[in-house]
A and B are shown apart, each in its own frame.
Chain A
Amino acid sequence: MSIKNNISPVLEIKDLKKSFGDHQVLKGFNVSLYPQENVVIMGKSGSGKSVMIKCLVGLMKATSGTIKIKNKDISILGQTELDFLRTEIGFLFQGSALYDSMTVRENLEFPLRRHKDKLRFRESVHDLVHEALENVGLVDAIDLMPSELSGGMKRRVALARALILKPSIMLYDEPTTGLDPITAKEIIHLMRNIQDRYGTSSLIITHDVDCARVISNRIILLVDGINYAEGTYDELSSSKDSMTKMFFK
């Protein structure tokens, strides 16, 4: 805790509110993500987890509240600045969201088209694509189309694509949903490896208790659009509160 007091968060959400018409989904959500920390957000379906993560990357506009990424308030950034800031964030979508008209190689090359500045000295696009695919163990799939990949492979390619710009923050939206238990474990293992190798900070939205147990430094329960409870896995899983207990059954 004392370390956190001296370090500024890489990502900070304060009093985030989001409404759709009369329906208020987020009613004042708060979270701070510190360097190399993994924060898991758990909540029931419809509790506003996906809305929160979309507000975070500027895909949705928050009704009120502040979102700061690396100390920059995203609501006041212009499009160019926001696009540049987005290169600091890797986003793994729930459904992988691979571009189905492109091969695996083209999927990975796509984010680099406008951000060649991310290439290090003497490094080519080809090197970077190979490195990203090596990280997820799918170099052989480089020329395949997304339709030729299994669900687990798609998720791994999506992870490689999220990593291609070497982001310092990773956002995972339900990374293990829809996968069999073995593949889900592989994905969790990959997430851990990535953090060890690149020192990323991660915000993970999941229903998967196993995933939360293995990967989290801290868990936040999002209920009815607000922070309901917060703590480590051990603290929350041993909680006597009936609502908290339901998440860890």
Chain B
Amino acid sequence: MSLVNTYPTRLYNFLIEIGDLSHFAIRYFKEVFKGPYETSELIKQCYIIGNRSLFLVGVTGFILGLVFTLQSRPTLLEFGAASWMPSMVSISIVREIGPVVIALICAGKIGSGIGAELGSMRVTEQIDAMEVSGTNPFKYLVVTRITATTLMLPLLVIFGDTIALIGSSLVEYSKGGVSFTLYFNKVIKALSFGDILPATIKTFFFGFVIGLVGCYKGYHCKKGTLGVGEASNIAVVYASMLLFIVDFIAVFISDIFFEI
């Protein structure tokens, strides 16, 4: 009986959460264009989010390219289509696998980091201290972080995609003797404007979602240190879930404008 009773409550709480998150996003758009601008903090956050994620994104992209090529190669060989490998790998990675995998990695690293950082600032009253000193903490902490993730994620994805293709070309070179020049010539021929543009545009939205959810959970963190852990954990879960929803919408829309 109690289980049955909890479902409406959970649904109600979920809807409240969606409403609060939307309100938080609207507040971001209201504040982002309004001065004074926190430019130095934005640059600092871009550095933290972008530069400090490069290694992780690079390693993930490299392994992704290696594994994807190693797994696909036997099947393509079976059909005598090994020469299609660069085209297949590049289109798959640039259009879908690269952005989604790298965004998920970033949701784990950046989203949880933001959630934990803002959460601990909330429970130790640092955010209250900013507010009391007559500074707008939303502008200083939230707007800068969401903008930084929105701007940095596309760059991280481009970097990760490039490393993944390098990884893939290494496998092709070692297994099939395909030179790097030939491999990348085929990649450039295979990729069209319609592959790169929608994939890049959606990464801005991925970045926005990661920043938004991380900031939202951290900024509204409660229940002391337990709440900080929860905020960081839920930020990753929500962001990952939202990434797939945004990805679906992006693919759906790009299907209308670009022939896939």
> At the interface, is chain A mostly helix, strand, loop or mixed?
loop
- Of all chain B residues, which has the CB nearest A79? B136
A201 located at the interface, meaning its Cβ lies under 8 Å from any Cβ of chain B in the complex:
no
Q: Which of A94, A100, A114 contacts B134 (CB under 8 A)?
A: A114
**Contact present for B125 and A83 (CB under 8 Å):** no
CB neighbors of A among B101-144 (8 A): 117, 121, 124-126, 128-136
How large, as a class, is the contact surface on chain B? 10 to 19
Number of interface residues of A (CB under 8 A): 26
Nearest CB on A from B157, distance (A): 27
The interface-forming segment of A18-26, A31-39, A84-92 is A84-92
Q: How far is the CA of A97 from the CA of B130 in the complex (A)?
A: 9
On chain B, the residues within 8 Å of A111 by CB distance are 133-135
Q: Which of A57, A95, A98, A113 contacts B135 (CB under 8 A)?
A: A113
B8 located at the interface, meaning its Cβ lies under 8 Å from any Cβ of chain A in the complex:
no
Known contacts A87-B134, A111-B134, A114-B135; is A93 also within 8 Å of B36 by CB? no
Q: How far is the CA of A110 from the CA of B39 in the complex (A)?
A: 14
**Contact present for A86 and B128 (CB under 8 Å):** no
On chain B, the residues within 8 Å of A110 by CB distance are 130, 133, 135
Nearest CB on A from B11, distance (A): 20
Q: How far is the CA of A94 from the CA of B129 in the complex (A)?
A: 11
Q: How far is the CA of A65 from the CA of B242 in the complex (A)?
A: 42
Q: How far is the CA of A150 from the CA of B126 in the complex (A)?
A: 18
On chain A, the residues within 8 Å of B136 by CB distance are 79, 83, 114
A7 located at the interface, meaning its Cβ lies under 8 Å from any Cβ of chain B in the complex:
no
Q: Which of A94, A95, A114 contacts B36 (CB under 8 A)?
A: A114
**Contact present for A97 and B134 (CB under 8 Å):** no
**Contact present for B36 and A97 (CB under 8 Å):** no
On chain B, the residues within 8 Å of A189 by CB distance are none
- Of all chain B residues, which has the CB nearest A89? B132
**A interface list, Cβ under 8 A from B:** 54, 57-59, 79, 83-84, 86-87, 89, 91, 93-95, 97-101, 110-111, 113-115, 161, 165
